[in-house]
């Protein structure tokens, strides 16, 4: 059994390789981890192309949901994306927060960060920043973010409780997160759960859905909602790399499932309203106290 540090190193190495792969290979596998399927093209990822702010060169096909679509990002918000990859969710978030807001992407793969920064430079975004860091120790001060998003990343982290605690720390009072992730309903076959490549592929690092939601509740979050849910079907030609024909049949006949969920939760407190200054022009210059125009 690998240690937590060895698992992190595995994920870091794999996703650094993925940064150099093409999108088609990533989308046809389990989060880019290999084992391309000839049965289906799109195993986990959802289609971003209709979302405003979508940037094709930043879409590596690695997600398992559309968290930014559900994140209720407002103009001027500060948004943090955990495991930002080539920057796709950051650029969608930037469209929502506008030039007055700020978006911070966190990743611990240098090739991914280089790709994301190159994309941001091409787009001319000076309010989108990409930082190197481990999301178990987010390199951001307390109470900074209005919104945290993440797409198919927490399942890759050995200590998920640390990440949830860190999300709570960096959110402002009243702030919230919207996170897409892989969870389990029932138990995975041991041969899949203990396979390193499937760990880097988002599957065997997943935990039970009930445990996932309980960790969020224990961290102090409120208003917890599952915004979207879909079962992930892994094709036989990928399962056959790990399971016999009989074991595949048994797995399919069980009530166990691998599921993509998008979860919303809010940090307690009252979110401060942003004050927008308006230039009144001549009307402001001629405004008399008590006239109602100020």
Tokens 């943090």 map to which residue?
80
30 contacts 201 by C-beta, under 8 angstroms: yes
Q: Residue 51: how many CB atoms within 10 A of its CB?
A: 17
- End-to-end Cα spacing for the chain: 68
- What residue ranges in the chain does DSSP mark as E strands? 78-82, 102-107, 128-132, 145-151, 171-185, 222-232, 257-266
Walk along the chain (294 residues) and give the pLDDT tens digit of each residue.
578 787 777 777 776 776 665 554 544 444 444 444 444 334 566 777 778 887 877 777 778 889 999 999 999 999 999 999 999 999 999 999 999 999 999 999 999 999 999 999 999 999 999 999 999 999 999 999 999 999 989 988 888 999 999 999 999 999 999 999 989 999 888 888 777 667 666 677 889 999 999 999 999 999 999 999 998 888 888 888 889 999 999 988 998 888 899 999 999 998 877 655 445 454 444 444 444 444
User: How many whole angstroms from its chain centre is CA 70?
Assistant: 12
Q: How far apart are CA 280 and CA 134, in angstroms?
A: 46
Q: How far apart are CA 43 and CA 26, in angstroms?
A: 10
67 contacts 150 by C-beta, under 8 angstroms: yes
What is the model's pLDDT at position 51?
84
pTM of the model: 0.82
Helix (H) / strand (E) element for 122: namely helix 110-123
78 to 81, 90, 148, 172, 227: CA distances (angstroms): 10, 11, 9, 10, 21
Question: Cα-Cα-Cα-Cα dihedral of 60, 61, 62, 68, to 10°?
Answer: 100
Query: Is domain 4-285 classified as CATH 3.40.50.150?
Result: yes
Which tokens in the block code for residue 259?
A: 């599921």
Domain boundaries, the chain: 4-285
What is the model's pLDDT at position 26?
46
């Amino acid at each position: 059994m690998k240690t937590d540090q060895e698992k992190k190193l595995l994920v870091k190495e794999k996703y650094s390789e993925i940064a150099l792969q093409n999108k088609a290979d990533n989308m046809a596998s389990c989060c880019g981890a290999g084992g391309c399927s000839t049965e289906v093209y799109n195993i986990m990822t959802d289609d971003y192309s209709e979302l405003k702010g979508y940037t094709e060169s930043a879409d590596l096909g690695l997600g398992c949901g559309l968290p930014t679509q559900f994140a209720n990002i407002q103009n001027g918000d500060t948004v943090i994306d955990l495991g930002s990859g080539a920057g796709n969710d950051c650029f969608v978030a930037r469209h929502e927060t506008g030039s007055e807001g700020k978006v911070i992407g966190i990743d611990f793969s240098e090739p991914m960060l280089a790709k994301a920064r190159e994309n941001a430079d091409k787009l001319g975004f000076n309010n989108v920043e990409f930082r190197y860091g481990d999301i178990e120790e987010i390199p951001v001060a307390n109470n900074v973010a209005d919104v945290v998003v993440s797409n198919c990343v927490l399942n890759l982290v050995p200590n998920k409780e640390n990440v949830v605690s860190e999300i709570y720390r960096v959110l402002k009072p009243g702030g919230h997160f919207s996170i897409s992730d892989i969870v389990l309903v029932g138990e995975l076959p041991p041969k899949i759960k203990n396979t390193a490549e499937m760990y880097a592929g988002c599957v065997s690092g997943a935990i039970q859905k009930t445990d996932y939601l309980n960790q969020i509740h224990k961290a102090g979050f409120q208003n917890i909602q599952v915004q979207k849910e879909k079962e992930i079907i892994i094709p036989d030609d990928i399962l056959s790399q790990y399971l016999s024909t009989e074991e595949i049949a048994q797995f399919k006949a069980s009530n166990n499932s691998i599921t993509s969920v998008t979860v919303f939760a809010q940090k307690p407190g009252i979110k401060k309203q942003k004050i927008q200054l308006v230039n009144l022009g001549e009307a402001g210059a001629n405004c008399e106290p008590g006239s109602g125009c100020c």
